Structure 1
Amino acid sequence: MSDPSPSCAICYAPPDTCPCESERLAIAVEQAERRRMDEQLKHIREWVIEHSRIHILHAFTRLTSARKAAHTAYLSSLPHYAIYMQYSGRPPLHPQAMAQLQAQIAEAHAELKRGIDADWRASVLRYPEVLDYFYSLVELKLPGDRSAEVVNPPFARAGYADQGYDQRSPKEGKKKKKVRDETPAPERPRRERRDSNHFPRQNAPPVVPTPPIHPGYGPYGHGGGYSGYGYP
C-alpha cells in the first residue's frame, strides 16, 4: 500500500522532502501578525511612550526645582546681593566689591546651567528602565484552551468548508440547506435510463472532489486571508 500522506501543497513533492510548507507558514504567520497585532502594538507603544515621557519630565522638574531653590539661597547669601538687586544691577558699590559680586553671580549661574544639564541627562538616561516598567504593566491575555472560541471556531461550525467566516446563524444555514435538499432532482430521459440498465457501471475508484480554492479565512469574511501563503 502506498503512503497515504498528502504531498506538499506547494510543489507537490513527496511528504517531508521539501521546506515549502514550513516556509510559507512562516510567511503566513508574519502576515497574520501584521493584520491583527500592528494596530494593537501601535496603541500600546503610544501609551507606554506617553506615560514614560510624563514620568521623566516630572522627575526632571523635581530635580531642577531643588537645584533652583539652592541657587536662589546661595545668591541671597552673597554680600551686597540684596542692594545689587534693589538697584537692578547698578548699586552704589566700590568697583572692586562690584566686580567680585558680579563674578560670584556669573559663576553661580554657570553652575546652575551645568546642574540643569546634568539633571536632564540623568532623567533621559532612565528611559530604558521607565519603558520596561510601563511595558510590564501591559497584559496580553490568551483565551483558555477549552473556551468556546477555541474549541468551536467559525470554520469548524461550517464543517471546515472553505467559505471564510460565515456570519450567519446556524439556524439560517440549516434552513437554507433544507430548502436546497427539498429541490427535486431532474428526471433523466427515458433512453438514458434504458441504456444504463443494459450497460452496468464498472467498479472504479471514488472520484475525489476538488476543494474550492480561496485566499483563506480572514477576519472579515472572504479575502484578507493568508495572501502570499503560496497556494496556487
Structure 2
Amino acid sequence: MRPGTLARLPGPPELTVDPDCAICHLPPNANCGCEANAMVAAVKEAESRVMKPEYRKVREWARHRAQDYVLQYFGLLSERRKQDYRARVAELTDNARRYYGALPHPSDMRAAHEQLRRGINEDWKASVTRYPEVLDYFFSLVKVRYPSDSDPRVRDPPLSAMNGIVRRSGR
C-alpha cells in the first residue's frame, strides 16, 4: 500500500435470502407450489373479469356475421331453385296447353313442387353445414393487439407501490 491511500477493507458478504412461501410459510427449499397455484388462480380470476366480456363481444360479433352470411348464401341458392321451379312450371303449363289445351296434371305440379322442396332442403343443409368454415373466417378477422414491452404503460404501470420508480431509476 502506498503512503497516503486508504486501504479498502472488504465489506460484508452479499446476502441472498429467499423468502418463505407467502401462502403456507414453508421455507423456500420445500417447493410447496402454493404460490404457483395462487398465480394460476389469480390469472383465471383476472381472465374471467377482464376477458369474458370481450370474448362475449367477439362471439356475438362473429355469430351475427356468420348467421347473416349463411342466410344470404341460402337466399342465393334458394332463389336459383325457385327460378328453376318457375321455369319448370311454365314448361309444364306450356306443354299442357299446347298438347292438351288444359292446365298441367296435378301430379306433375306436385312432383315439381316436391322437387323444389327437396332442393330447398338441400340448399338449407348446404348453407347450415358451412357454419364452421364461416365462423372460422369471421373469428380469424378479430385481432388482439399487445402494447410493446417498451411502452411506458408496460414498463411503469400505475400500480401505486412502484409508480414512478422505473422513471426515476432511468431503466
TM-score normalised to structure 2 length: 0.79
Say if 2:113 is the partner of 1:109: yes
- Paired-residue identity, %: 37
Structure 1 contact 48–134 (Cα < 8 Å) conserved: yes
* Deviation of the 1:36 alpha carbon: 0.9
Shift of 1:19: 1.2
Q: How does 1:68-147 map to 2 (within 5 A)?
A: 68-78=82-92, 79-80=95-96, 93=102, 101-147=105-151
1:152 aligned onto 2:152? no
Q: Is the 8 A contact 1:9 1:21 kept in 2?
A: yes
The CA deviation at 1:136 is 0.7
Answer whether contact 1:75 1:81 (CA < 8 A) is retained.
Answer: no
Unaligned 5+ runs, structure 2: 1-12, 167-171
Counterpart position of 2:58: 44
Query: Which structure: larger Rg?
Result: 1
In 2, Cα distance between equivalents of 1:19 and 1:114: 62
Distance 1:56 1:77, change over 3 A: same
Question: Per-residue deviation at 1:158?
Answer: 5.9
Matched position secondary structure for 1:29: helix
Q: d(CA) in 1 for partners of 2:97 and 2:50?
A: 65
Q: Distance in 2 between matches of 1:53 and 1:35?
A: 28
Higher relative contact order at CA 8 Å, sep ≥6: structure 1 or structure 2? 1
Q: Return 5+ residue gaps in structure 1 as ranges.
A: 83-91, 161-232
In structure 2, C-alpha distance between the alignment counterparts of 1:21 and 1:34, rounded to whole Å: 20
1:61 alignment partner in structure 2:
75
Structure 1: which 4+ aligned runs deviate by more than 3 Å?
A: none
Match of residue 22 from structure 2: 9
CA gap of 1:81–1:58, structure 2 versus 1, over 3 A, is farther
1:228 alignment partner in structure 2: none
Superimposed CA distance per residue, residues 66-86 of structure 1 (whole angstroms, 9 cap, x where no aligned partner): 00000110111112269xxxx
Q: How far off its partner does 1:3 sit?
A: 6.4
CA RMSD, 1 decimal = 2.4
Which amino acid is the alignment partner of residue 149 of structure 1? R
Q: TM-score, normalised by structure 1?
A: 0.59
Structure 1 residue 159, shift from structure 2 partner: 5.4
